[in-house]
Structure 1
């Protein structure tokens, strides 16, 4: 927009430039921030921020997050946790004297879920929890399930 059409140019010579003599471009007519969210700004809040006001469910006082720590991993991702050179050796069949041990706790997982398939190679899996399907599939592949505290 050219400067000559700007508001400041248009208001030259008009003392307070549209902002009044008393308030002088201070304060906001609708309030500041979330003021009026339940009153005169309600339509905006309801439209663009549904569920902002009100309560749902019960409160849980002194909730310890560590009690609910249970990161999961599916069977189809298990072998990705084995280092690449070892994985290739086991999957190619060149290394059959030992089975890989996958300890999930130090890797940040505590539960194994049963999605996907495992290659028919024995593997020892250590975790705190196993779903029924995961345990069954690991054993079918000739592997061992170890529960760790």
Structure 2
């Protein structure tokens, strides 16, 4: 393998410091003023003033935002309208979907989904209840003579 730059260490054998000065430079974190963000309120303050946004200290100081615990964040489990339409007859036979006035009434939460997505074609009229619905999916269902109802107050699907 070709080396782009020659290794200087061979030339520095016997020089004790390898060009880094007299007393202990180029060692560990002491030469840079500490590891990570240590010293940003003391000897690295000029760095903070240069790179912080509007001298507020961001992103070096303070808490930024809130991360919700994963136990309370609902996973978005989506299904496309085309897949849903192909499953309709099977779901009716299982009793998970009802047919009322010629329209299929689908509660996505009963099937195990909570978001309706827009890929695929819709030809059968459906009334779909879901927590989240994409704009494209809603347009396709309305064009086929159905409607979309958003379920409110549900965190987990």
TM-score, normalised via structure 1 length = 0.45
